[in-house]
Amino acid sequence: MRYEPTRTPQISNNEDWRTIVQNAYRWLADEFRRISDGAIELFSVADYTAIGHVNSNGSLPDSYYIAGFNNGTALTVGVPSANVLRAIPFIAPGRGSKLSQLAFNVTVLGVGSARIGIYNSKSKYDIYPDKLLDQSADISITSIGVKTYASTVQLQPGALYWLAMVSDGTPTLRCGDLSGSEVPKIIPHAAALGTTPSLGLSVAYPYAALPTTFPASAAFITALPVPALAYRFGA
């Protein structure tokens, strides 16, 4: 049978390259699905980033995405050490989006404060966290519950960002599990090829406002606890 493609995506001179690639990928995936009667499905990280996102003002209940974790395993709790800056990566939706909140959950109160913020990456080829885009003021950790910061950073389609947190106390936080099924393949495995996958980056940092440029020489996070740093979209 002769193959007859459907109309190919139109390219405009003023379109961002990410949009062009994503439209081409969607078209190619649709073509494979069509000519194989659904037997062939293309899937990659692009599928996740190409979809939309849950708007906090939408029809679903209030909700958050958690940086660095899939929905495969229940979250746990832990007591991250103080004066350590931790950064966990996530990929922005492919249609672009604006944040409305950053959040973390204190399950057993502590003493002191914490700060949460967001960094971009150095480039599309170097995903190390780079410039600070936004951060909270001091957030008290002396009471339990979800602690939030209203952030309105506009995310670029399909770009990689890092949620970061530091505290001067040791409250018990909602944390992620480092099981292999729970860690998306965003950052590479540590060079030692140990049993625990890499989930984020950490570096010693005396509690203060988050640095405007992420410190160099951060190490992979390969041990618990890893705080569950959350974000939601407003539009």
113-141 pLDDT, tens digit per residue, is 999 999 999 998 899 999 999 999 999 99
SS3 24: helix
Q: What is the pLDDT of residue 46?
A: 46
Q: What's the predicted TM-score (pTM) here?
A: 0.78
Q: What is the pLDDT of residue 48?
A: 46
Q: What is the pLDDT of residue 70?
A: 72
Residues of the chain with CATH 2.60.120: 65-233
Q: What is the pLDDT of residue 59?
A: 65
Residues in the chain where the model's pLDDT stays below 70: 1-7, 9, 13, 15-19, 21-22, 25-26, 29, 32-33, 37-59, 71-73, 178-184, 235
65-233 to CATH, choices 2.60.40, 1.20.1250, 2.60.120, 1.20.120? 2.60.120
Best CA proximity match to 149, nearest among 131, 136, 162: 136
Q: Which residue do the tokens 């190619």 mark?
A: 28
| Contact (Cβ atoms closer than 8 angstroms) between residue 183 and residue 130 | no
Report d(CA 169, CA 207) in Å as an integer. Answer: 9
